[in-house]
Structure 1
Amino acid sequence: MGSVDEEPTRTKIGPRGRLTIPVALQRAAGVAEGEEVVIRVVGPGVFAIESVQSIEDGLLAEFASIQRPTDAVAAIRADREDDDRA
């Protein structure tokens, strides 16, 4: 991956709303040709572009600390036993 401090580069929105991201910026962001990205409006005249892989990696990292029961049946039984005691 390249520098996060990559110099801003001007580009134009082309026919049919197409946007070309310069290769230097693609490299700096670690995004390859053909990779799927998500683009969203952040504010008036401001877009954010993020790779789908980056979004997936962020979600996986965020939920990695959640402990999952190794035995779903045992977890349900334990919950029912707790409810019966209450």
Structure 2
Amino acid sequence: MRTAEVHYGDNGHVDLAVPKGTKLEELTKLQSMVIKQINPRGCQACLSGVHFNIREKLEEVIKVDLDKMAVIKDIAATHR
């Protein structure tokens, strides 16, 4: 299953992380779906200021436990 990560911040920016090889056609459909989730009744004028940052997902190399400031070992070992 291919998945995209969608993050919406207080600053009105939407960050989309999509798998490598995602086509522009898929991005436009995703953008439309995301806008409907953010503001289902919004008019074009209301949504014209929404900024989309689109990037390809990076492979997870390591995860860090922020409380301990340590690498989570089981994740790092699976990507070697």
Shorter-chain TM-score tier: under 0.3
Which structure shows the higher helix fraction? Answer: 1
Higher Rg of the two aligned structures: 1
How does the TM-score come out when normalised to structure 2?
0.24
Q: Which has the higher contact order (CA 8 A, sep 6+)?
A: 2
How does the TM-score come out when normalised to structure 1?
0.23
